[in-house]
Amino acid sequence: MKINKNWIQKVFRFFVPSPKIAANHKKTLPENRRPFRRTGDRSSRPKTQSTEDRIKDFILRNSRNGYYTKVSTLSYKFEIPEDKAWEIVGGLLTDGDLESIHDEFTGEMKLCEAGKTYLIMNLEQQRKRQKSQEFKMNKKQKSK
């Protein structure tokens, strides 16, 4: 049985690279282009925040948007143990950046930016009133 050389090359072409492919495999960049590699000073890269800073930013952002942050939320939001969350909250409260208030129904501690406690409390009452009015309107429309 005679084996054709071209047939073998066609069948096994993915195993043995052709000389043309091997020659073109070596990539050359034009002189005006550099390879993408960062060397030297990496100060332009943003620093990663510590968990404490991320928690503080989260609480302050919620406060600016008119919401309290419950301490129980922090442990699962940032995937940290509850003890660590309480430790971080204690540090933030002693720094004076945050204020706390306790939920009137559940007793949970809620956090907000210093000086915004009553503003957020007022916003919560407005949202509650608006929600109950919408509920009453929907109930009247359904009964007709």
- Domains of the chain from N-terminus onward: 51-125 (1.10.10.10)
Query: Helix or strand or coil: residue 113?
Result: strand
φ, ψ for residue 18 (rounded to 5)?
-75, 160
Q: Tokens at residue 93, please?
A: 């409260």
Tell if the pTM clears 0.85, that is, is over it.
no
Mean pLDDT per 10-residue segment, the chain (144 residues): 65 58 56 64 70 94 95 92 94 93 92 94 94 87 75
Q: Cα 77 vs. chain centroid, distance in angstroms?
A: 10
Residues 35 and 59: their CA atoms lie apart, in Å, by 42
Q: Is 40 left (phi over 0), alpha (psi -120 to 50) or beta?
A: left
Q: What is the reported pLDDT for 114?
A: 92
In angstroms, rounded to a whole number, what is the distance separating the alpha carbons of residues 15 and 25?
15
Decide: 110 and 70 in contact? Cβ < 8 Å. yes
What is the Cα–Cα distance from 120 to 67, expressed in whole angstroms?
6
